[in-house]
Structure formats: C-alpha cells, structure tokens
Amino acid sequence: MIVTNLNYFLTVTILLFLIGVIGLVLNRKNILIIILSIELMLLAVNLNFIVFSIYLDDILGQMFVLFVLTVAATESAIGLAILLVYYRVKGTIIVEKITTIKG
C-alpha cells in the first residue's frame, strides 16, 4: 500500500519538475516566469525529499526541506527586489534587453 502511494507521489513530483523545466526552457522572454519555474522545480524536489523522508522514517529529509525553503524564499525575495529596481531604472524587464546591469 505504501509503495503505491509512493509511486503516486513520485509521479506528481516528476510532473511538477518537468513543468518547471519546460517553463524554464520554452520561456526565455519573461523573467518572472523564469523565476516561478525555478521555484516550481525547487518545490518538486522538496516534495520528493518529504516523500522519501516519510517512507524511510527519517527526519533528516524534512529538516533539509526547511533549509531549502528558507534559501528559496530568500532567493525569490532578493531576485524580485533586484528586478523591481531594474524596472524602475530601465523601464523594462525583457530578458533580451538586459545586457549589462552596470550604469
């Protein structure tokens, strides 16, 4: 019974990760979609850690998920803050027009 549930969860995590990869590969113009795709991939990996942590009856995977979520939230906040400042200075956030950030 637990193996069947494990297979379902692993299928969901694989699908979430593939959606993130497809969003990252196919969409190179909108930087917000790129950031959201990276976050979706991180959440898929975290769900995978949680499933295996419960399956193996080990708390280490769940502790690692807390650390990864903290780093992902920090990365997202800092990335969006940089993006907001860049938009205020340049007036656009199109990836193709971002060549240099200096001056």
In this prediction, residue 59 carries a pLDDT of: 92
- 1-56 pLDDT tens trace: 456 688 899 999 999 999 999 999 998 778 888 888 999 999 999 999 999 998 88
Closest listed residue to residue 54, CA positions, set 103, 4, 6: 6
- 74-101 pLDDT tens trace: 988 898 898 888 888 877 777 666 666 5
All residues at 6 or more sequence positions from 64 whose CB lies less than 8 Å from its CB, including other chains: 49
For residue 15, being part of any structural domain is answered with yes
In this prediction, residue 41 carries a pLDDT of: 93
Closest listed residue to residue 14, CA positions, set 45, 54, 50: 45
In this prediction, residue 13 carries a pLDDT of: 94
In this prediction, residue 31 carries a pLDDT of: 81
Domain count, the chain: 1
For residue 82, being part of any structural domain is answered with yes
CATH for 48: 1.10.287.3510
For residue 13, being part of any structural domain is answered with yes
Angle subtended by helix axes 31-56 and 60-90, to nearest 10: 170
For residue 21, being part of any structural domain is answered with yes
Query: What is the extent of the structural domain holding 85?
Result: 2-97
